[in-house]
Amino acid sequence: MHEMKGVPQPSSVSKSTAEKVKARRKKAVKPEELLEGLLSGNKSALSRAITLIESTHPKHRKQASELLEKSLPHTRHALRIGITGVPGVGKSTFIESFGKLYTNKGLNVAVLAVDPSSKLSKGSILGDKTRMEELVKDERAFIRPSASGSSLGGVARKTREAIILCEAAGFDIIVIETVGVGQSETMVHSMTDFFLLLKLAGAGDELQGIKRGIMEMADAIVINKADGENVKAAKLAKTEFNRALHLFPEKESGWTPITLTCSAIANEGIEDIAELISEYVELTKENGYFQQRRNEQNKFWLLQTIESALKNDFYEDPVIKKALKEQLTALDENRTTPFEAANHLLSLHQK
């Protein structure tokens, strides 16, 4: 495993419903108290801190900023693992098995879900939580459903900030789970150290290579449900995937992605996956790629944040809102070109 610091043990909080309601009513949370709770590994404080960073209220944003700033010195030792796979691949069961393996070793595991479609399928989050019933009860584990938001960029910011908070709260393993949709996977890949793609044997998308972009991001492919009658097909799929992985250009990390099989439900093959991840961490810490990737990820997010703010500032300008409509009409009527119209709008904004 990667280097491990002495980890504060999260206190197992089990409040009564009445107490919970009371806590929710208590609007004025002192930021210093929240920070103290967070740094002592209190899961309830962590939950409230994440709720704070998810708020778009200006006052909350300011408090969130301070909290993040003070949390920063306490982060950086955790390992961030991205896990993706299409619905039905058994992600929840896998994360339950995978998470338990680490908590059994005395490590603290946080699971953050990124669901780009969360607005439409709010129920699925609850479903996932019930499917991780062992992990939910584990005092070393923390599970947080998807951050909601109007844009993928907003969800990304919230998730990245939640990672910082989880690390400050002493979590060693941060699992970021997402659904098999291209954009959200790229986002999760851009904020994790290791990216794991869950697959099923014979699901039909192997030969068409439909998930090529996602396969290219994967540091490992794991074929789940390799049990019973499925074992043979899973082994065959493993060979196929390994062959496909060899067609990709060599990774900058120096790591060669490989395919493993497991049965999350029977708890088989999970240890091998954890072992593989350890090897990856060892290799990339030694060759410097681990830190390099984190630095690049930070830079990427810095630029992303700037660019979305610039666009927002422009398109939310009331002068632009009105003029843009006019220019679009002029475009449709062939009275201007896209470039002329853009220059006109830019000159209006600068005034």
User: For its own copies, which stretch binds (CB under 8 A), given 33-41, 42-50, 140-148, 331-339?
Assistant: 331-339
Among 12, 65, 256, 278, contact with its own copies (rule: CB under 8 A): 65
Return d(Cα 318, Cα 323) in angstroms, integer: 9
Q: Which 76-105 residues touch its own copies, going by CB under 8 A?
A: 76
Among 40, 51, 75, 148, contact with its own copies (rule: CB under 8 A): 75
Return d(Cα 167, Cα 175) in angstroms, integer: 12
State the DSSP H helix or E strand holding residue 183, giving kind and residue range, or none if neither. Answer: helix 182-189
Among 3, 250, 316, 332, contact with its own copies (rule: CB under 8 A): 332
Is 12 or 291 the residue whose CB approaches its own copies more closely? 291
Residue type, 197: L
Pairing of strands 258-261, 173-179: unpaired
The contact pattern for its own copies, residues 229-248, with x = CB under 8 A and - = no contact, is ---------------x--x-
Q: How near is the Cβ of 101 to its own copies at its closest, in Å? A: 29
Q: Which 106-165 residues touch its own copies, going by CB under 8 A?
A: 157, 160-161, 164
328 is an interface residue for its own copies by CB under 8 A? yes
Strand order in the sheet with 194-199: 141-144, 109-114, 173-179, 79-85, 194-199, 220-223, 258-261
User: What does the CA dihedral 282, 288, 294, 297 come to, rounded to 10 degrees?
Assistant: -120
Do 143 and 176 form a contact (C-beta atoms < 8 A)?
no
Residue type, 166: C
Among 16, 17, 150, 208, contact with its own copies (rule: CB under 8 A): 208
Q: How near is the Cβ of 268 to its own copies at its closest, in Å? A: 31
302 is an interface residue for its own copies by CB under 8 A? yes
Return d(Cα 183, Cα 153) in angstroms, integer: 10
Return d(Cα 194, Cα 270) in angstroms, integer: 16
Return d(Cα 330, Cα 345) in angstroms, integer: 13
Is 23 or 309 the residue whose CB approaches its own copies more closely? 309
Return d(Cα 300, Cα 320) in angstroms, integer: 28
322 is an interface residue for its own copies by CB under 8 A? no
Give the residues across from 263 on adjacent strands: 268
Among 25, 28, 30, 73, contact with its own copies (rule: CB under 8 A): 73
Return d(Cα 222, Cα 179) in angstroms, integer: 15
User: For its own copies, which stretch binds (CB under 8 A), given 128-136, 171-179, 262-270, 343-351?
Assistant: 343-351
Q: How near is the Cβ of 311 to its own copies at its closest, in Å? A: 6
Is 129 or 294 the residue whose CB approaches its own copies more closely? 294
Among 21, 126, 266, 309, contact with its own copies (rule: CB under 8 A): 309
338 is an interface residue for its own copies by CB under 8 A? yes
Kindly write down the DSSP assignment for every residue of 125-160, as one continuous string.
HHHHHHHTHHHHH-TTEEEEPPPP-SSHHHHHHHHH
**Interacting residue ranges for its own copies, rule: CB under 8 A:** 65, 68-69, 72-73, 75-76, 157, 160-161, 164, 207-210, 212, 244, 247, 295, 298-302, 304-307, 309-311, 314, 327-328, 331-332, 334-343, 345-346
